[in-house]
């Protein structure tokens, strides 16, 4: 069987190495390749050139723009508006969001009573999965974006009081991702303390500047590696189901 990852760029992506190691340990003859495409419009041509692809993972920046290329979406994609996993059977493409599963399962063990309000840094496809999970868990949240809007808070308007009131802060932006490891979301870090939980969806580097800033002030920190493993395993479960859409 043949699987892959689409996104751009993909030079430091997690999935190819993870699945190749998984296939070697399982001793199964499967392929997993990275397909960096500069535009989502290239997807039909990619699939035509590789008709044996049975499943794809989707990463930045195509989790939302891939939707018109799908024949069907599951409930979580419908709610979040973002897809990171595609099952392909006989040319029929169904989209799923396994980011939801990965984030939820990795976050729940860390939650404490004070984590009853959240700040979500970023407003893209990954942010939508986080919002879905927080809604399911009954945790109210505010979204922080570069410019701010009626629905979001701008970084320039974040105050120490806002940081203090939101003990759960989740970075869904690429700020701090390798190779730009010195970058970090511009929030008032001096207002973070030992009651905070900082979660970064980035896994490379292992500790982003965002997480380091939190750790230095006593916060509990978590990177995105476990989430990636859990979402990858959820993708594998979807791809190996015996029937389409079941």
pLDDT of residue 243: 58
The CATH class of 2-98+228-239 is: alpha beta
Q: Would 2-98+228-239 and 101-226 be classified into the same CATH topology?
A: yes
What are the pLDDT digits (tens) for 77-118? 999 999 999 999 999 999 999 999 999 999 999 999 999 999
Q: What angle do the packed helices 15-26 and 225-239 form, to 10 degrees?
A: 60
Q: Which residues of 6-18 are buried (b: 16+ CB within 10 A; e: fewer)?
A: bbbebeebbbbeb
Name every residue whose Cβ is closer than 8 Å to that of residue 43 and which is 6 or more positions away in sequence: 6, 37, 66, 69
Catalytic amino acids? 63
Confidence of residue 241 (pLDDT cuts 50, 70, 90): confident
Domain residue limits, the chain: 2-98+228-239, 101-226
* CATH no. of 101-226: 3.40.50.720
- Most distant CA pair in the chain, distance: 55
What are the pLDDT digits (tens) for 189-229? 999 999 999 999 999 999 999 999 999 999 999 999 999 99
Q: What SS3 class is residue 228?
A: helix
Q: Can you read off the two tokens belonging to residue 148?
A: 């701010």
């Amino acid at each position: 069987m043949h699987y892959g990852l689409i996104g751009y760029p993909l030079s430091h992506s997690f999935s190819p190495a993870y699945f190749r190691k998984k296939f070697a340990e399982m001793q199964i003859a499967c392929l997993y390749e990275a397909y960096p495409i500069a535009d989502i419009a290239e997807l039909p041509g990619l699939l035509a050139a590789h008709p044996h692809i049975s499943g794809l993972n989707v990463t930045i920046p195509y989790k939302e723009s891939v939707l018109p290329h799908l024949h069907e979406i599951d409930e979580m994609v419908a709610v979040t508006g973002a897809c990171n996993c595609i099952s392909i059977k006989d040319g029929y493409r169904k989209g799923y969001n396994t980011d939801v599963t990965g984030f939820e399962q990795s976050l729940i063990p860390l939650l404490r009573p004070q984590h009853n309000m959240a700040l979500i840094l970023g407003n893209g496809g990954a942010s939508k999965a986080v919002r879905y999970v927080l809604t399911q868990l009954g945790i109210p949240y505010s979204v922080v974006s570069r410019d701010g809007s009626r629905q979001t808070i701008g970084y320039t308007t974040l105050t120490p009081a806002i940081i203090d009131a939101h003990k759960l802060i989740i970075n869904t932006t690429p700020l701090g991702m390798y190779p730009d490891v010195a970058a970090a979301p511009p929030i008032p870090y001096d207002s973070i303390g030992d009651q905070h939980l900082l979660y970064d969806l980035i896994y490379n580097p292992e500790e982003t500047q965002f997480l380091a800033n939190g750790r230095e002030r006593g916060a509990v920190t978590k990177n995105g590696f476990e989430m990636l493993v859990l979402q990858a395993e959820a993708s594998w479960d979807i791809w190996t189901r015996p029937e389409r859409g079941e």
